[in-house]
């Protein structure tokens, strides 16, 4: 099947991927642009996984002020080079993440930042709740794990549903930028301020 220049152009504009990547994805998806987007996303995930170990010493601190100055956020997002930090895609990502933190109020960047004592306390609470609900002993571990997953989705930034597209997580939104920019990207830290919030 022949892939037209218009199809490649449309996919490039939507994805930000290179011409050859777009052509290959369109061939694999039989010319369907939306299906080709999925192909590019999957490839981006595997490429992002390979880049995850690379050092991120550059980046930006972004800010977002909301609700008439009642909520403010500072977020540090790192990448590998100053060149990528200056790109529009990266700068938009940093703004998006600051806005997400303002709206969703996560407590931690990722699961590995949640203190072990907090994890254990939550497990104990979920186990106690499941027992009080009369759940059979043999399924308690699975129930607790399921509830822990939900808990992480609520309190960890990268596990939360992304506010602009709740079908994806924040991490998937970051991975999309990794695929476009070709560098590892890491949210280093954030601080959310709320007037009267202590």
Residue 142: HSE in the Cβ half-sphere, 13 Å Cα cutoff = 5
User: 146-169: per-residue pLDDT in tens?
Assistant: 999 999 999 999 999 999 999 999
Do the bridges between strand 58-66 and strand 71-79 make them parallel or antiparallel, or are there none, so unpaired? antiparallel
What pLDDT, on a 0 to 100 scale, did the predictor assign at position 62? 95
Which has the higher per-residue pLDDT, 91 or 39?
Answer: 91
Rounded Cα–Cα distance for residues 3 and 24 (Å): 9
Reduced to 3 states, what is the DSSP secondary structure of residue 192?
strand
What pLDDT, on a 0 to 100 scale, did the predictor assign at position 63? 95
User: 74-131: per-residue pLDDT in tens?
Assistant: 999 999 889 999 999 999 999 999 999 999 999 999 999 999 999 999 999 999 999 9
Which has the higher per-residue pLDDT, 73 or 137?
Answer: 73
pTM of the model: 0.71
Rounded Cα–Cα distance for residues 152 and 154 (Å): 5
Reduced to 3 states, what is the DSSP secondary structure of residue 113?
helix
* Domains along the chain with CATH numbers: 5-51 (1.10.8.10), 58-109+156-194 (3.30.479.20), 115-152 (1.10.286)
């Amino acid at each position: 099947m022949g892939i037209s220049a218009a199809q490649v152009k449309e996919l490039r504009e939507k994805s930000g991927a290179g011409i050859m990547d777009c052509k290959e994805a369109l061939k694999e998806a039989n010319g369907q642009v939306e299906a080709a987007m999925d192909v590019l996303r999957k490839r981006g995930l595997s490429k992002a996984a390979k880049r995850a170990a690379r050092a991120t010493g550059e980046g930006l601190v972004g800010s977002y002020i909301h609700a008439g100055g009642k909520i403010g956020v500072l977020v540090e997002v790192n990448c590998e080079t100053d060149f990528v930090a200056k790109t529009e895609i990266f700068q938009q990502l940093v703004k998006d993440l600051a806005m997400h933190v303002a709206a969703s109020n996560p407590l931690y960047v990722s699961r590995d930042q949640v203190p072990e004592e907090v994890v254990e306390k939550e497990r104990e609470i979920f186990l106690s709740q499941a027992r009080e609900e009369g759940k059979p002993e043999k399924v308690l571990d699975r129930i607790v794990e399921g509830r822990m997953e939900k808990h992480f989705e609520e309190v960890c930034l990268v596990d939360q549903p992304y506010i602009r597209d709740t079908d994806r997580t924040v991490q998937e939104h970051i991975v999309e930028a990794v695929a476009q920019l070709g560098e590892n990207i890491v949210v280093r830290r954030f601080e959310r301020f709320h007037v009267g919030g202590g």
